[in-house]
A and B are shown apart, each in its own frame.
Chain A
Amino acid sequence: MKIRLRYFAALREALGQTEEALDLPAAATIAQVRATLATRYPAIAPILVRCVAARNRAFAAEDAALAEGDEVVFIPPMAGGREVAQHHG
């Protein structure tokens, strides 16, 4: 299946792109996307671990299963802050 990744802030700057498509096995999870990106782009791995995940503009758990056409965003910490992880609950 194919999903759409959008990049903001530090991820966009590090990758030099605003979005890309990603091919994944059916029912892949947010955690698998995170791992795939960290492997493909080692430079962003330290940023990724601090990001919260969103699926179709809603908070998504790491074990959330994705579907064809989903939009996934990893949102970096708010500028100057460390509080974003608190937003996930």
Chain B
Amino acid sequence: MASLGEARMPQRVVTTSPLIVLIENDAANRMLAEMILSRAGYRLHSAADGQTALALLEGEVPALILTDLSMPLLDGYGLARALRARPRYAQVPLVAITAHAHAEERQRALSMGFADVLVKPYRREQLLALVERRLAGAAHP
């Protein structure tokens, strides 16, 4: 698991499982998601904001990107626009993570190209089910 933005100490785990990029501003929430996904066997790179995530994305194209919407420097919507403008990442499924459960936020995210929206607080089972669903969708569009 690599975590940038706070510790600035990238780490990489060498396995063949799908690579997921997690962008979450809140350190506690980010650590929770990191631990859940790592325990489930996914390779994970993480960042605390969209700008750091873009730098992180210069390497391998991930199978899935999970991003908070409200973040400093570059928020989730800005990150989505930046990714969709890059052919290399245009097809990577994006999932929005937000504390705002109202329909307007969900609709805005979907209209911006997010494949799904995960509302905080979420349960481990919700996160893993969503990830599995989106990875399966990416493999069999």
Interface residues of A (CB under 8 A from B): 8-9, 52, 54, 57-59, 73, 75-84, 86-87, 89
Contacts of B120 in A (CB 8 A): 78-81
- Which residue of chain B has the shortest Cβ distance to A86 in the bound complex? B123
Contacts of A57 in B (CB 8 A): 1, 31, 34-35, 38
Total residue contacts A-B, CB cutoff 8 A: 57
**Is chain B's binding surface mostly helix, strand, loop or mixed?**
helix
B124 at the interface (CB under 8 A from A): yes
B115 at the interface (CB under 8 A from A): no
B26 at the interface (CB under 8 A from A): yes
Assembly CA distance A58 to B40 (angstroms) = 11
Assembly CA distance A59 to B37 (angstroms) = 11
Contacts of B123 in A (CB 8 A): 83, 86-87
Contacting pair A79 B29 (CB below 8 A): yes
Contacts of A83 in B (CB 8 A): 121-123
Interface residues of B in 30-88 (CB under 8 A from A): 31-32, 34-36, 38-39
Given contacts A8-B27, A9-B28, A57-B1, is CB(A77)–CB(B35) below 8 Å?
Answer: no
Contacting pair B32 A84 (CB below 8 A): yes
Given contacts A54-B35, A58-B38, A87-B36, is CB(A75)–CB(B28) below 8 Å?
Answer: yes
Our pick among B1, B32, B34 for the contact of A78 (Cβ within 8 Å) is B32
Given contacts A86-B123, A87-B123, is CB(A79)–CB(B26) below 8 Å?
Answer: yes
Nearest 5 A/B pairs, CB to CB = A81-B121, A78-B121, A8-B28, A9-B28, A87-B124
Point out which of A54, A76, A83 has the most chain B C-beta atoms below 10 A from its C-beta.
A83
Assembly CA distance A80 to B27 (angstroms) = 15
Contacts of A76 in B (CB 8 A): 28
Could you list 28 examples of A-B contacts with CB < 8 Å? A8-B28, A8-B31, A9-B27, A54-B35, A57-B1, A57-B34, A57-B35, A57-B38, A58-B38, A59-B35, A59-B39, A75-B31, A76-B28, A78-B29, A78-B32, A78-B121, A79-B99, A79-B121, A81-B120, A81-B121, A83-B121, A83-B122, A84-B32, A86-B123, A86-B124, A86-B125, A87-B123, A89-B124
